[in-house]
Amino acid sequence: MLEALAPVATGLLVDATVGLGGHAAALLARFPSARLVGLDVDPEALGVARATLEAFGQRAVVVEASYCQLEEVLAGLGVQAADGFVFDLGVSSLQLDTPERGFSFRYEAPLDMRFAPRGMTAAEWLEQASEEELVRVLREFGEEPRARRIARAIANARRRGPITTTSELRRIVLAATHPRPGRIDPATRTFQAIRIATNRELEGLPGALAQAARRLRPGGRLAVIAFHSLEDRLVKTTLRRLAGRCVCPPGTTRCQCAPEQLLAVITPKPIRPSAEEVRANPRSRSARLRVAERRAE
């Protein structure tokens, strides 16, 4: 990330998913002339980020907002254009490691999973979703091959009462899938899918990336880290469209995706973590970094 943004890091950077402020602090420390605007919807994470970035004084501004509101936030700050954008997608370590947030089946906790304390919890989403909707979400967002079996098990279980805890949902998935020892926990895909559905994570991502591309100065850079294949494919497709390529499904007789020649993709293939980085930080193992640059006007 630091290397990708180094050519533009003398100006204004925008961390659209500032989280705990790790990337933001690393950028500001490495590039003393850089300024940064950070956005996040999680007020708990923002509290940590503000404390982390306090040492950088007025060089860092943190705003509670979704990356879907990029243009609105920047306009409110009087920012016409930025030199670099960072997106670090998905769930954060703080969210995973705070039991009461309900993101992880490693802890007994209420089935919440919300990035921000508003809207439906995961338990409420599960209660109102039809069995067919469950199948679709598990297949689409979890890439779960046993989606029909798990959805039926969830539907049967909730007839006996609401599913309200992480351990209860995991038990339902385990009973439906009969996992073999040593394999990845089968609840992993289900929890991912329900988290994405609860937070509507992927709905606004293409639009947010387009907002960032339009707000980049010529030569400015956009760097995006994704952590699962579904997310990465969406990033890849969106960057291609913003680089002027049609991304309509094969067989489409007339282009409907409206390509925009805003970006040049710098990483045809994503940058993956080294073996050394994975050893130091196991959660980085599935990370994929893609970088694009704003074309000259």
| Domain residue extents for the chain | 2-90+203-294, 103-199
What does the alpha-carbon distance between residue 38 and residue 27 come to, in Å, rounded to a whole number?
12
**May I ask the CATH class of domain 2-90+203-294?**
alpha beta
| Contact status, residue 195 vs residue 91, Cβ threshold 8 Å | yes
Question: Which candidate, 99, 113, 128, 294, places its Cα nearest to that of 216?
Answer: 294
| Contact status, residue 132 vs residue 140, Cβ threshold 8 Å | no
pLDDT in tens, 112-136: 989 888 889 999 999 999 999 999 9
Q: Do domains 2-90+203-294 and 103-199 have the same CATH topology?
A: no
pLDDT higher than threshold 90 for residue 75: yes
Q: What value does the mean pLDDT take over residues 210-232?
A: 94
pLDDT higher than threshold 70 for residue 182: no
- Per the prediction, the chain carries an average pLDDT of 91
pLDDT band at 9 (very low <50, low <70, confident <90, very high): confident
pTM confidence score? 0.88
Name the percent of the chain lying above pLDDT 90.
Answer: 71
Q: Between 1.10.287.4070, 1.10.150.170, 3.40.50.720, 1.10.8.80, what CATH number should domain 103-199 receive?
A: 1.10.150.170
What does the alpha-carbon distance between residue 223 and residue 17 come to, in Å, rounded to a whole number?
12
